[in-house]
Structure formats: structure tokens, C-alpha cells
């Protein structure tokens, strides 16, 4: 494998969220990342990252206003990695009930819902969920806070191939994705008694509710793996 | 839910400083030594406070954010002297993940909602500096604990939540820098009156203090400075000559490693929490 090969990435700039930490994480991994809303640059990129912090409705409105909705779908159709992060994950789904009903990009069948009274025993947890939580291969491991941290075989050909089951990642969110098909859920995480899908992968469309770029060494290795996927795809 | 441990770095120009009751700032070294060490030791986030931003210009802290955000991959919050939407944008553009505002929010509460709308609630932390009064009430202060505002801390906490703040960074001025423990009553009353996370700061001297403010004070995250800084100074091989000769450097020149201050590392704190059934992200 030619790991020296750099990948050209585009971080889609639609005015939502801290793009700088993503850019820095890309640079660490050898991804030359351009922060831009330019469609030509997007279509030429080896991989695209869809970031986002804020509200689902605003994000979709802005993507429409910038004429980015169709180009993002076109990019997804090229087979090159499209990576959604946080709100950028959520808008890959079909819709959300956040502040009214909103239509998403629909690249992954499913909906986005708000935490509904997550609890530990009798104590209601705060929403948003802010902090470090573990990502697990299966729903039941997430529910049980399992102790077996062996690398899941299912993650072998995914951006998680280098990390252990139950690795801690940094989350900030009030909503989470509910895919129609559990098979597209790459990881599961619990917040109190609520178990939610924390990352998704459907072909070349990859998405994380957490922030790998803010999740220390393990998070950075996810960027390394994304780069490898992009350059491997390049060499055909 | 996993409790977050958030080292606080008070920065004055080129130096990391620490005082008592937010006053009497003493130079402890270069901020970069501390930031990088805490990141490697398993800090869950970092907070940088510009100790004198309202008196000086802000370029040095922004430059520090710019440098560190390239090498530190955990969330970084920047506070101190941020007055306007433009100031907030500059801090975020420098690489901060969140900003903490206090004085400007008190003077113009709409800044909270405007900033939350523009940058997302999760980006906006409101700092509340609380001073216990003779009658047992708590008053919010501003300008780094120097100026009273007449606002009741609990009413103000509810208001900042309604205005769209994502978290509250709650300082007990009375406990700050003393190492005598957090103000449990203050923290619990604020944490129970809002539904957003509350970060408690001020008074940590031992891992037990940290445990108390979580179990009794209901803090969602805990921040501390002196306890970690003095531990770092004692245990790390740093060249204490290698700092800018500016500010009160008598402590560093004295070669002392501590000053009536208990100390603990992030690992000590987290081990103590885990042994006492408080969940947190373990250190490596």
C-alpha cells in the first residue's frame, strides 16, 4: 500500500460548524483538505467531508441556497468516500422532526429523532449529550457496556479498522439517527438507557455522530483510515 | 453518562498564570507545556482563559489557539474578554471549538442568543462567576471576579439557558485557587435549576473534592487548575529558565515545586472517580 500518496479532500463549507479542527485532522492524516463550497472542486476531490453544527432545518436550507444538494448526491454516486460528521451525519438521512419537519439528503433511509428523556435509574440526563462515550459494534454491547474490546471483524473494511470495540469518542448532540435498516449502523452507543446508532456506513457513504477530529489519537486514526480508503479507491 | 475532566489554563500574554480568588497571578510557565501534557494525559477537553484580555489585546491567546489546535485533538474552549460576535468568530476561526463569555453576556444578554443562533448552542458556553453573600445568596460577578452585577446567580443561570447557552462554566470566586474544595451548594443549586450541562470550577485540592462536586454537587463536568499545574511542575522535566521574563516569576525562580497546594494528576483524579462508581473516560 502506498501510504505516502496524498488524498485531495474537500470539506464542504456551508457556514455550519468548526471546520478548522476537521482541516487539522485531515492534514495530520495526509489529506490535503480544501474548505470550499465550490462544486467543481468537490467533484474533483478524492473524498468529501460534510461537517455541521447547529440545526437540521437551517443546514438543509443553506445547502439548498448554495445549490449544493444535487452536487453532494452526485458526489455520493461517484463511489468516492463521502463522510458526514455530527449534523453532517444527520442530514444524510431522509428527515428530521427537529423544530418542525425537515427533509434531508436521503442518502441513507431513516429519520433523525431527539433524545426522549434519557435516564439512569430515576435520574433524567441532560440534553444535549456532551462528552466522551463508547462506540460499540452491536446494540447489545452498547446497552450492556460490554467489556470485550477486541476489534470487531465487521469493522475490518471500514474507517474503524484500527480501533478497538468500545473506544471512547467525543459527542455533542441532542438528536440522533435512526436508520431504517440496522445493517447500515456501523456503531452503537448508549446515553443512559437510550441506545442509539452512532455511526453509519452504506457503501461509500460514511457518517459519524461523534467528532473523530476531537477524539484524540483514536479519532485521528479514523482519518488515516479514510485517507487509505480514498487512495485505495483512486488506484482502482 | 461520563463525567468530563477539563483542565483550565489561565493565560496572560506569553505565560500560564494562576492566582487565588482570581487575583495575585503568578507565572507558572509556558502554556504549551501544560496544554500538551494534559492532552497526552487524557484530559477530556481544555479551557483557555485570557486572564487580562479586557486590559490588553487578544492576539497572543489567539495565536496560542492557532498553534495548539493543530496538535491537540480534543475540544478547546476559549474565554476571557470576548465582547462581540466578531470576537467570537475570530476565536472559532483560530481553532477554538467553543467560546466562553461572561462580562459581555451580562452587559448584553442578547449576545448569547445571537451567538447561539449563528454558531450553534453547543458552541456557546456562558461563564458565571459566583460570589457568596453575607445573607447566603449568590451574586454573579464580571470582569474576572472584580465587578458585582447585582444579578442573582440562579436566576441568571436560568436566563442564560433560555437565551440558548449550551453549557455553564460556573466559578466559585470564594473557593477559586484555594484548594479547599468546590462550592457544593452553589454547584448543586445551579445544576438542578438548568437542563444544560454545568461545569464546576474553583477550589479543587484533591481527587475527593472532584468526586464530591459530582456526587453531591451534581456537576456534569469538572474543571481545575492549580492542583494539576503544581503536579505537572513537580513531575515534569521542564527547563524553568525557558519562559518569558514578564510578570511575577519569583515562584519559578525560587525553584519551589509547590506552594501549600495539594496536587494530583488527571490519572489520579480519574482513577479515584472510577473506584468510586463515577464513570469517565479512563486514561490510557
B136-174, pLDDT tens digit by residue?
999 999 988 889 999 999 999 999 999 999 999 999 999
Q: Kindly determine whether residue B75 and residue A170, on different chains, have CB atoms separated by under 8 Å.
A: yes
Spell out which chain A residues touch chain B, with contact meaning CB-CB distance below 8 angstroms: 16-18, 20-21, 24-25, 27-28, 53-55, 120, 125-133, 168, 170, 172-173, 191-192, 211, 213-217, 219-220
The grid coordinates listed for B82 are 470576548
What was the pLDDT predicted at B99?
96
Distance of CA A27 to the CA centre of its chain: 18
For position B263, what pLDDT does the model report? 86
Look up residue A226 and give its three cell numbers: 479514510
Mean pLDDT, to the nearest integer, of A113-128?
91
Span A158-178, average pLDDT? 96
Phi, psi angles (nearest 5°) of residue B90: -60, -40
Please tell me the predicted confidence (pLDDT) of residue A1: 42
Annotated domain spans of chain B: 4-275
Q: What is the mean pLDDT of residues A132-151?
A: 93
Question: What SS3 state is found at A169?
Answer: strand
- Banded pLDDT at B246 (limits 50, 70, 90): low
Say what the pLDDT of residue B255 is. Answer: 56
pLDDT at A96: 87
Decide if B74 touches A, using CB distance below 8 A. yes
* Shortest Cα–Cα distance, B74 to chain A (Å): 4
Q: What is the pLDDT of residue A6?
A: 86
Is there a contact between B38 and B72 (Cβ–Cβ < 8 Å)?
A: no
pLDDT in tens, A25-52: 999 999 999 999 999 999 999 999 999 8
Checking ipTM against 0.90, whether it exceeds it is yes
Annotate A17-54 with DSSP letters as a single string: S-HHHHHHHHHHHTEEEEEE--HHHHHH-SEEEE---S
In the numeric block, which cell numbers belong to residue B78? Answer: 476559549
Nearest to A210 by CA among A172, A161, A156: A172
Q: Rounded to a whole number, what is the distance in Å from the CA of B15 to chain A's nearest CA? A: 24
Tens of pLDDT along A57-94?
888 999 999 999 999 999 999 999 999 999 999 999 99
What is chain A's mean pLDDT, rounded?
Answer: 92
Nearest neighbour of B281 by CB, restricted to A18, A132, A219: A132
Residue bearing the bigger pLDDT, B57 or B12? B12
What pLDDT, on the 0 to 100 scale, is given for residue A99? 65
Q: What is the mean pLDDT of residues B53-73?
A: 81
Residue B192 has pLDDT above 90, yes or no: yes
Q: Residues 6 or more apart from B247 whose CB is under 8 A from it?
A: B12, B13, B15, B17, B25, B27
pLDDT digits (tens, 9 = 90+) for B270-284: 999 999 999 999 987
Q: Which CATH superfamily is domain B4-275 in?
A: Aldolase class I (3.20.20.70)
- B224 forms bridges with which residues in the sheet? B7
* Catalytic option among B129, B167, B176, B212: B129
Q: Which three cell numbers stand for residue A216?
A: 484524540
Q: What is the CATH number of domain A7-234?
A: 3.40.50.880
Chain A residues closer than 8 Å to B266 by CB? none
Amino acid at each position: 500500500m502506498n501510504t505516502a500518496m496524498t488524498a485531495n479532500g474537500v470539506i464542504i463549507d456551508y457556514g455550519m460548524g468548526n471546520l478548522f479542527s476537521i482541516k487539522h485532522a485531515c492534514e495530520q492524516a495526509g489529506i490535503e483538505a480544501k474548505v470550499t463550497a465550490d462544486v467543481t472542486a468537490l467533484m474533483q476531490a478524492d473524498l468529501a467531508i460534510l461537517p455541521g453544527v447547529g440545526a437540521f432545518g437551517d443546514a438543509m436550507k443553506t445547502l439548498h441556497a448554495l445549490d449544493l444538494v444535487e452536487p453532494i448526491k452526485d458526489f455520493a454516486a461517484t463511489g468516492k468516500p463521502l463522510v458526514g460528521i455530527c449534523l453532517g451525519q444527520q442530514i444524510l438521512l431522509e428527515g428530521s422532526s427537529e423544530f418542525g419537519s425537515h427533509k434531508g439528503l436521503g442518502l441513507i433511509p431513516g429519520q433523525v429523532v431527539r433524545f426522549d428523556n434519557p435516564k439512569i435509574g430515576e435520574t433524567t440526563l441532560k440534553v444535549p449529550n456532551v462528552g466522551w462515550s463508547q462506540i460499540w459494534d452491536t446494540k447489545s454491547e452498547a446497552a450492556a457496556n460490554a467489556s470485550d474490546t477486541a476489534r470487531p471483524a465487521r469493522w475490518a473494511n471500514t474507517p474503524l479498522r484500527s480501533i478497538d470495540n468500545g473506544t471512547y469518542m467525543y459527542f455533542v448532540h441532542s438528536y440522533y439517527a435512526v436508520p431504517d435498516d440496522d445493517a447500515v449502523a456501523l456503531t452503537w452507543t448508549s446515553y443512559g438507557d437510550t441506545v442509539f446508532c452512532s455511526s453509519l456506513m452504506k457503501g461509500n457513504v460514511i457518517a459519524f455522530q461523534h467528532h473523530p477530529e476531537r477524539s484524540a489519537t483514536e479519532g485521528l486514526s479514523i482519518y488515516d483510515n479514510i485517507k487509505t480508503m480514498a487512495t485505495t479507491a483512486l488506484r482502482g | 453518562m461520563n463525567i468530563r475532566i477539563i483542565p483550565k489554563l489561565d493565560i496572560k500574554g506569553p505565560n500560564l498564570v494562576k492566582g487565588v480568588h482570581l487575583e495575585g497571578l503568578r507565572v507558572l510557565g509556558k502554556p504549551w507545556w501544560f496544554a500538551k501534557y494534559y492532552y497526552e494525559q487524557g484530559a477530556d477537553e481544555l479551557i483557555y482563559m485570557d486572564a487580562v484580555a479586557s486590559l490588553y489585546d487578544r492576539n497572543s491567546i489567539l495565536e496560542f489557539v492557532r498553534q495548539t489546535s493543530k496538535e491537540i485533538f480534543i475540544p478547546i474552549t476559549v474565554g476571557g474578554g470576548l465582547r462581540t460576535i466578531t470576537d467570537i468568530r475570530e476565536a472559532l476561526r483560530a481553532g477554538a471549538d467553543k467560546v466562553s463569555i461572561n462580562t459581555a453576556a451580562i452587559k448584553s444578554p442578547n449576545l448569547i442568543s445571537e451567538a447561539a443562533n449563528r454558531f450553534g448552542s453547543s458552541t456557546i458556553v456562558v461563564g458565571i462567576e459566583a460570589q457568596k453573600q453575607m445573607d447566603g445568596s449568590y451574586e454573579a460577578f464580571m470582569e474576572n471576579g472584580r465587578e458585582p452585577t447585582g444579578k442573582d446567580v440562579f436566576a441568571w443561570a436560568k436566563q442564560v439557558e433560555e437565551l440558548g447557552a449550551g453549557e455553564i462554566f460556573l466559578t466559585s470566586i470564594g473557593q477559586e485557587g484555594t484548594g479547599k474544595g468546590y462550592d457544593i451548594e452553589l454547584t448543586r443549586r445551579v445544576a438542578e435549576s438548568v437542563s444544560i450541562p454545568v461545569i464546576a470550577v474553583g477550589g479543587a485540592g484533591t481527587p475527593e473534592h472532584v468526586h464530591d462536586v459530582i456526587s453531591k454537587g451534581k456537576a456534569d463536568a469538572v474543571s481545575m487548575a492549580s492542583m494539576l499545574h503544581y503536579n505537572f511542575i513537580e513531575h515534569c522535566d521542564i527547563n524553568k529558565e525557558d519562559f518569558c521574563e514578564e510578570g511575577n516569576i519569583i515562584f519559578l525562580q525560587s525553584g519551589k515545586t509547590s506552594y501549600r497546594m495539594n496536587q494530583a494528576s488527571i490519572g489520579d483524579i480519574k482513577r479515584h472517580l472510577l473506584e468510586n462508581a463515577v464513570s469517565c473516560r479512563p486514561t490510557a
